[in-house]
Amino acid sequence: MEGQEPTHEWLNLPALLNRQRAASAANPRPSAAERRARLSRLETMLRANQAAFAQAISDDYGNRAIPETILAEVASTLAASAHARRHLARWMRPERRSVAMTSRPARNTVEYTPIGVVGVVAPWNFPVFLTLGPLVEILAAGNRCMIKPSELTPRTTALLGRLLGETFPSEEVAVVQGDAEVARAFCALPFDHLLFTGSTGVGRQVMRAAADHLVPVTLELGGKSPVIVAADYDLTKAANSIALGKFFNAGQVCVSPDYALVPKGEAVSFARAVLAAAERMFPTLDNNPDYTTIISDRHDARLHALLVEAEAAGARVLRHGAQPGGNQPGGSNMRRFAPTVVLDPPADCRLMQEEIFGPILPVIGVESLDEAIARVNTRPRPLALYIYSNDSSTQRRIMDNTLSGGVTINGTMLHVNQVDLPFGGIGPSGMGAYHGREGFLRFSHARGVHKPGFISGFDILKPPYGRRTRLILRALTGFGWPKHLR
């Protein structure tokens, strides 16, 4: 199979969409065997090229720890695809539903049918998992897919375009390469569904563009995902766990712990324990292949500006003991932002207003669990919530009094990689959930089918309406018929 030519000009996009629509119309309901075959081809491609993907992502970042790529990008995608293949026949099976009393005897079923062509706008932070992960469920649901990866990861995007082009014909899966102008044109296409993963601000623009064609959207956004450390939980154990999640991919994760609420008298000890854990994981920062760099100079400058503002406002800033040296453009230590903890930053500073998306952890001391819950609830609903407590009643109390996209208890980010759990935000952190069966349902149309039996209850109630009609309706609703209506 020949590789696809990269699509650089937005004028090509409607023609590409039309080709996929025509292919979908020619085979509107691919069999389970066809869908499994597509997923198997995807898995084979990913397994054979995982080293190439790891290198391309690392080159795009400046440095990305290879184990982080294999774990978060490759293993997660393979697990999702294997899960979908294993359960696909059951997901596709029509579901029996109950029949209304007035319609019996009859049969009701729900069939999950493909919706057609799905557009995917993928971000730069996990350019394989957040591209191929949705593709798994889109293919499992029997659809075609057009993908617009991020222009901030050009090597990975080019590799995705070439390998997916060698794996699928363009009428099944197509990669569109280009800049922000191409992305805007992509989002304005009349897809049957559009999935966007990225910032809340851009998500609003995507939704506005999709609205012109009434395109249903799934938005996976972000926000400030809080950590609540209850008084009963071992502080050092919590710090070790939170440091692992916070500094994974240098904090460039949509579900990264964004700030920590800890018992007030323990805030300083906790902050130091977090940094001690970071220093054990990353004894040095210079030339350390295990420590991921910030994706671009612009993102790096923004993180530095957040710290400068917080420190000027009186916050206490604690940094990793081994500061990167030689942080020169083009050098091997370019954009190595040191793990940092900020104690009690003001609530109105940008560090506490914006999603951080970097290796900075604000730590805030609270007097009580009620205060921690109140602080979470004064903010927009987050994509993730992390609870550290061994007491089930405390865990339940926090979950019952807060709202978030997902939750991990006594850990961070782990709920995202569970192949049988839905993933998605709520409010400004997102719209719609996918992964596993929920992903299959997200990219399917639930079509209700009613088949009357040998006699239809509706026929019995047809005009002329008389005494029998009144008796049946009285039995159904209790409606008493006034004499002047009889």
Q: Each residue of 110-139: pLDDT tens digit?
A: 999 999 999 999 999 999 999 999 999 999
Distance between CA atoms of 475 and 470, rounded to whole angstroms? Answer: 9
| Cβ–Cβ < 8 Å for 89, 218 | no
Cα-based distances in Å from 151 to 120, 255, 295, 302 = 14, 22, 12, 19
Q: Which residue has the tokens 């059951």?
A: 90
CATH match of 226-424 with 3.20.20.140: no
Distance between CA atoms of 391 and 382, rounded to whole angstroms? Answer: 23
Catalytic residue status for 254? yes
Beta carbons within 10 angstroms of residue 151's beta carbon: 15
pLDDT-based confidence at residue 10 (cuts at 50, 70, 90): very low
pLDDT, tens digit, for every residue of 31-80?
999 999 999 999 999 999 999 999 999 999 999 999 999 999 999 999 99
Q: Is the pLDDT of residue 1 over 60?
A: no
Query: What is the predicted pLDDT for the residue at 103?
Result: 85
Average pLDDT rounded to a whole number, residues 235-241: 98
Q: Is the pLDDT of residue 141 over 80?
A: yes
Query: What is the predicted pLDDT for the residue at 76?
Result: 97
22 burial type by CB count under 10 A (0-12 exposed, 13-18 middle, 19+ buried): exposed
CATH superfamily of 10-221+435-445: Aldehyde Dehydrogenase; Chain A, domain 1 (3.40.605.10)
What's this model's pTM, rounded to 2 decimal places?
0.93
Distance between CA atoms of 182 and 23, rounded to whole angstroms? Answer: 23
Q: Is the pLDDT of residue 399 over 90?
A: yes
Cα-based distances in Å from 284 to 58, 69, 107, 279, 291 = 19, 20, 67, 8, 9
Q: Is the pLDDT of residue 267 over 70?
A: yes
Residue 359, token pair as written in the block? 């290796």
Percent of the chain with pLDDT over 70: 95
Query: What is the predicted pLDDT for the residue at 332?
Result: 47
Q: Is the pLDDT of residue 195 over 80?
A: yes
Residue 468 makes CB contacts below 8 A (sequence gap 6+) with: 460
Select which of 145, 220, 349, 355 is catalytic.
Answer: 220
Residue 316 makes CB contacts below 8 A (sequence gap 6+) with: 342, 343, 344
Q: Is the pLDDT of residue 145 over 80?
A: yes
Average pLDDT rounded to a whole number, residues 179-191: 95
CA neighbor of 108 nearest in space, from 431, 452, 427, 466: 452
Residue 408, token pair as written in the block? 């991990």
Query: What is the predicted pLDDT for the residue at 8?
Result: 44
Question: Do 10-221+435-445 and 226-424 fold alike per CATH?
Answer: no
pLDDT-based confidence at residue 209 (cuts at 50, 70, 90): very high
pLDDT, tens digit, for every residue of 320-350?
977 765 444 444 467 999 999 999 999 999 9
For the chain, what is the mean pLDDT?
93
First to last CA, the chain: 74
Distance between CA atoms of 139 and 5, rounded to whole angstroms? Answer: 21
Query: What is the predicted pLDDT for the residue at 483?
Result: 74
Q: Is the pLDDT of residue 473 over 90?
A: no
Query: What is the predicted pLDDT for the residue at 325?
Result: 54
Query: What is the predicted pLDDT for the residue at 438?
Result: 97
Beta carbons within 10 angstroms of residue 23's beta carbon: 17
pLDDT, tens digit, for every residue of 276-314?
999 999 999 998 999 999 999 999 999 999 999 999 999
Query: What is the predicted pLDDT for the residue at 17?
Result: 97
Select which of 254, 266, 349, 367 is catalytic.
Answer: 254
Domain ranges (residues) in the chain: 10-221+435-445, 226-424, 456-485
| Cβ–Cβ < 8 Å for 154, 179 | no
